[in-house]
Structures are given as structure tokens and as C-alpha cells.
Amino acid sequence: MMSLRPASHHLTFSIARLGMLLVMATSFGCSAQDPAGIRLTLEGGGKGSIAVAALTLPDVDSTKNRDTTGIKWDLAARLTVTTGAFDSLDAVEFEDFEVDSVMFTDPGGTIRISIPRGPDAKWYKAIHVSAKERGRLQKALDGAIDQIDLHENVTIAVEIKKARVVASLVQTVPRVTVREKRGVVSVVIPLEVLEAPGTPMILVINWEAITPTR
């Protein structure tokens, strides 16, 4: 399988710019407390776009390029949103998160996505801080203008334009929720579930194109 290497756009936000962070979190189909995740948006034929939202704790020295006086900076948190495009969903992977198989037919199809978990999985570590660092991240969020709680989840959202969708995991995993609404499938996974050993979760999405009414 080919790795996803699109020309992408990078948008980096400070946690202090809370309003923008909440807008981006909502657009990923998750609550404001769960901004980290992956969103795939699909057009006809398998073309589409990907957006990855990652929460990180950068070195505080990297945030010092500001015109400030009398402040000793001690902690930084950042939400980074990276977007890109792809011509075929079958060629998409992010770290070890990958599309297992795709069947596009007229007027519908099936998508299977492999979601690795366990200590050796890489994808969720690339978009969220470790269990050891989450206390520091919560401390940073506590200092935001409007305090928000870190729910320690990762969200995967898949939108298929102009389609009805039905989705489920091949094997149900406790505390993992799968929802469908207006052509968007969202899977909310607690980090504790991702960090625990286990076989990859397989998400199956069946979709049917919506026929325009005349």
C-alpha cells in the first residue's frame, strides 16, 4: 500500500486561542474536549481529503518568539491541524492507520478501515500526548480563557458526500462508540482503549448515494 504523501496545508493554533480551537474541534465531529482525531471526506470514485488534528506539548522555547516582558513561560500546548488530498482512498494510510479495502459501486459501496491499538501502534501517538504527559496537558487547558476538561479520547470521522451511511465495528469494543449522522460516521475511542493490547479494530462503513428528488 502506498503511503499518503499529499501536498498539505498546515494550520497551528495556540491553546490560548481557545475560540478557534473549539471551532476546529466541533468541525471534526467530536466534542470541544476531544479535538484530536482524523477526518476523511470522500467524493465520488474514492477521491477526497484528509485532515489530522494533533494535540502536542511543544518545547516552551519554541513559543517564545513573542513580544512579551516580565513573563517566565513554563508550559505550552498546541493543536495542529494538517490537511491534504488523495486521488484514491485505497492508497491512504497515516502511520499504521490505513484503509483496509474499498469497494465503490453505483450507487453505493463498502469501506473497511483498520484501526491499530496497543503499545506498538503509532497513529494515535502521533496525534495525542502519552498517558504520562496528559496531566501536563490538562494543566495547560486549565489555564485557557474558558477552562475545558480533557476527556482523553480520539475521534475518527468519515464523511461521504451525498450519501446515507451505516457503520459498525466487526467486533464490538467496550467504551468505543460508533455513530452516523447526515452522511458522517464518527468513532470515539478512549485513549485507554487504544493504549491497551488488542488486535486492530475494523470499522466497516456501508454507504448508498442519495438520489436527488425531482
Q: How far is residue 194's CA from residue 119's CA, in Å, rounded to a whole number? A: 8
**Residue 182 belongs to a domain:** yes
Question: How high is the pLDDT of residue 64?
Answer: 61
Report how far residue 104's alpha carbon sits from residue 46's, in angstroms, rounded to the nearest whole number.
Answer: 7
Confirm whether 136 is domain-assigned. Answer: yes
Residue 93 lies in a domain: yes
Average of per-residue pLDDT across 5-31: 38
Instruction: Flag whether pLDDT at 21 surpasses 50.
Output: no
Range of the domain at 197: 9-63+74-209
Tell me the pLDDT tens digit for each residue of 48-75.
999 999 999 888 776 666 677 888 888 8
The confidence band for 212, taking pLDDT boundaries of 50, 70 and 90, is low
User: 148 lies in a domain?
Assistant: yes
Residue of 20 and 45 predicted with greater confidence: 45
The answer as to whether 83 is a domain residue is yes
Count of domains in the chain? Answer: 1
Residue 180 lies in a domain: yes
**1 lies in some domain:** no
* 214 assigned to some structural domain: no
Tens-place pLDDT, residues 123-158: 999 999 999 998 888 888 787 777 667 789 999 999
- For residues 47 and 88, is the Cβ–Cβ distance under 8 A? yes
